[in-house]
Structure 1
Amino acid sequence: MTLALALLLFVTAERLGELWLARRNTERLIAQGGLEVAPEHYPLIVALHAAWLGGLWWLGWDRPVNLGWLAVFVCFLALRVWVLMTLGRRWTTRIIVMPGETLVRGGPYRFLSHPNYAVVIGEIAVLPLALGLPWFALVFSILNALVLSIRIRAENAALGRH
């Protein structure tokens, strides 16, 4: 098995695990009175990430891996774990507002309002670079910036109202 193939298998398993966790947390938060806000852009996020991962499989499964970019990607994975651990059962891929709850201010949220999105920005750029796909990194970084501009605006508005 090549390093690129192992890396893509790992990232795919990690993303599927996150989807499972997000669904479980979303269902629990809704059952506890949480309100989903601005769900209309969610299919864009899903489509972007599915196309990104599918494209990496299509173009990168047999490419040599740049170990420097791989190390940067591993750092982003560590930051992702920090975000997930900080939010715990509140982490989800949707915008869920819990009436009466305060915003999380610990962990990476001490430094950034949206650390998870900073991680996503990095991962979407860096994993293709690790696989020697700079144009892929550029195209998906631009698409991700467009989607995140919608997402962050909606999330800030939702959190500001509640």
Structure 2
Amino acid sequence: MSDDGVQYFEDIAVGATASFGRYEVTRDEVTEFAAKYDPQPFHLSDEAAAATHFGRLSASGWHTCAMTMAMLVENLKAHRQAGLGSPGIDQLRWLKPVYPGDTLRCESEVLEKRRSESRPEMGIFKSRLTVFNQDDVAVMTMVSNGLIRTRDAG
């Protein structure tokens, strides 16, 4: 960590892990998100969901991504990372359904990092993120790429 309390590329260690976040999944939020972005019956109706392999109303996988992003941003704000966004996700897997009443949390591990050759003022790091429910069951994993400022562009 730098003197200004901000985490830069040089401060990121490959293999570093973190646990963070707490997100309570509500029925209203599940149905509101689904109605707007993923209006499949098993995300909107108890009756329709009961007739599927989900067995009951479940959150959209994209909603799980959005809830995860909310936890990620809160964590980044708390740790003052010099982040510059992301060029994308390499891998995304929805492992188990997320249901109203679940409480989600995250664990991350830095897999690799490199300084940008074309933009020396930034670095790129790859992380694996796993989202767990209240029973410590993994519900989602993703491997993402983050851009972050370097402390010294030289």
Structure of higher RCO (CA pairs closer than 8 Å, 6+ residues apart): 1
Q: Which has the higher strand share?
A: 2
Normalising by structure 1, we get a TM-score of 0.25
Answer with 1 or 2: which has the greater Rg: 2
Higher helix proportion: 1
